[in-house]
Amino acid sequence: MLVQFLSKTSKQLKKHCALLSNEEKQSLYNEVLEEVKNTPRNSQGNIDKLKKLSKVAVAIEETTDSKLLEQFNDGHPLREVNIAYVSGEATNYLFSLGDSSELYDLKENREKAIYQAIKSNDRELVKHLLMILTSDEIEIEFFKELETLLSGVYEELKENLSQDTKNYLEKNISLKRFVCSNVDVLIAKPVDMQAVVNLFIVQSGVNYKIDELLLIKIAEGLEEGELLSQINQMIETVREHERFVELEYKVRRLKSELASGKSKYSDEVIKFSIEEREREMGEIGDRSNQVISEREKLLSRLSNRASRRH
């Protein structure tokens, strides 16, 4: 019976499911979920099958009182799905959220996948999707498209986003906007030292990812010496600061999961993860003051160097 549904469109599926009795919907839903559980995720053909099964499940959910499907919630195979797989020569990502069986395909519909990930307020998911999209060498036009997409979704949804998600998106958008605006300087070979130094001087220091990018470019154009050592030290300090901030976020997230009691992991596992991250935070230490101090010293030195050149 199930096979006949896999070739139907979402509209056709909803129309058909609306005509079924509650018992028939429950029976079909159970059949779909069992088939999902029995479908390996090791080939493109099986991935395509999972997406078709997802469409059937969604059609049932959208035409059925949710209370009639509550019995299937435990161990639901189409909720919070995360599948990374190779599509062609690139990595693709298939995921679902916790309140629906809909599977989002990152490469098939980038806009919808990004929108739903941001809307879900799952900062880790958004970060993961953007890492996949920018993992290979990309054209600057794609970078611009991504910045435009993120900016538009952020503006639409920002009132309902958590502060952690907003902070992450704001920094990611500003980095992409900076790269798009200064691409000629950033890709120049050999490095245009004066232009890169000038960019660093006029930066506010709010986004340390931009600082790190510029410092790496400056270091490429320097020979061994005290200034290069100072810049390399600053790069390391920035990275440690960013790592500390990331760990702080993860500890907040884990503690929130623990307090809610809704995590799929046991309390013991969550507590261990918190302890491990807090231990690493202790090893790194809060570098916020250090990074500001080192940046000011380096900024002064680079400004004086630029003045002497003029």
Q: Report pLDDT digits (tens) over 131-174.
A: 999 887 778 899 999 999 999 999 999 999 999 999 999 999 99
Average of per-residue pLDDT across 245-252? 95
| pLDDT at residue 270 is higher than 70 | yes
Higher pLDDT, 50 or 309: 50
Residue 269's CB is within 10 A of a number of other CB atoms, namely 13
pLDDT band at 206 (very low <50, low <70, confident <90, very high): confident
Alpha-carbon Rg for the chain, nearest whole angstrom, is: 24
What pLDDT is attached to residue 309? 62
What pLDDT is attached to residue 88? 73
Task: List the one residue out of 100, 118, 92 whose CA is nearest residue 64.
Answer: 100
What pLDDT is attached to residue 156? 98
How far is CA 31 from each of CA 59, 70, 149, 248, rounded to the nearest angstrom?
Answer: 14, 15, 38, 43
How far is CA 213 from each of CA 117, 177, 248, 294, 306, rounded to the nearest angstrom?
Answer: 27, 13, 23, 16, 19
Whether the bond between 190 and the residue before it is cis, its omega within 30 degrees of 0, is yes
- The residues near 251 (Cβ < 8 Å, ≥ 6 apart) are 274, 277, 278, 281
Q: Report pLDDT digits (tens) over 76-107.
A: 999 999 999 887 778 899 999 988 999 999 99
| Distance between CA atoms of residues 22 and 274, nearest Å | 44
63-72, 112-121, 182-191, 200-209: the lowest-pLDDT one:
200-209
| pLDDT at residue 307 is higher than 80 | no
| pLDDT at residue 310 is higher than 70 | no
The count of residues in the chain is 310
Q: Report pLDDT digits (tens) over 284-296.
A: 999 999 999 999 9
What pLDDT is attached to residue 164? 95
Task: List the one residue out of 73, 89, 92, 93 whose CA is nearest residue 29.
Answer: 73
Token reading at 39: 């479908």
- The residues near 218 (Cβ < 8 Å, ≥ 6 apart) are 191, 193, 196, 197, 200, 231, 302
How far is CA 97 from each of CA 65, 80, 81, 119, 220, rounded to the nearest angstrom?
Answer: 19, 5, 7, 10, 43
| Distance between CA atoms of residues 101 and 58, nearest Å | 6
What pLDDT is attached to residue 174? 95
Higher pLDDT, 32 or 306: 32
Q: Report pLDDT digits (tens) over 214-234.
A: 999 999 988 888 899 999 999
The DSSP output letter for 19 is T
Token reading at 117: 């990930």
| pLDDT at residue 306 is higher than 70 | no
Average of per-residue pLDDT across 259-268? 87
| Distance between CA atoms of residues 166 and 24, nearest Å | 43
Give 240-257 as a 3 state SS string: HHHHHHHHHHHHHHHHHH
In this prediction the pTM is 0.88
Task: Give 97-163 as a DSSP string.
Answer: -TT----EETTT-HHHHHHHHHHTT-HHHHHHHHHHHTSS---HHHHHHHHHHHHHHHHHHGGGS-H
Q: Report pLDDT digits (tens) over 16-75.
A: 999 999 999 999 999 999 999 999 998 889 999 999 999 999 999 999 999 999 999 989
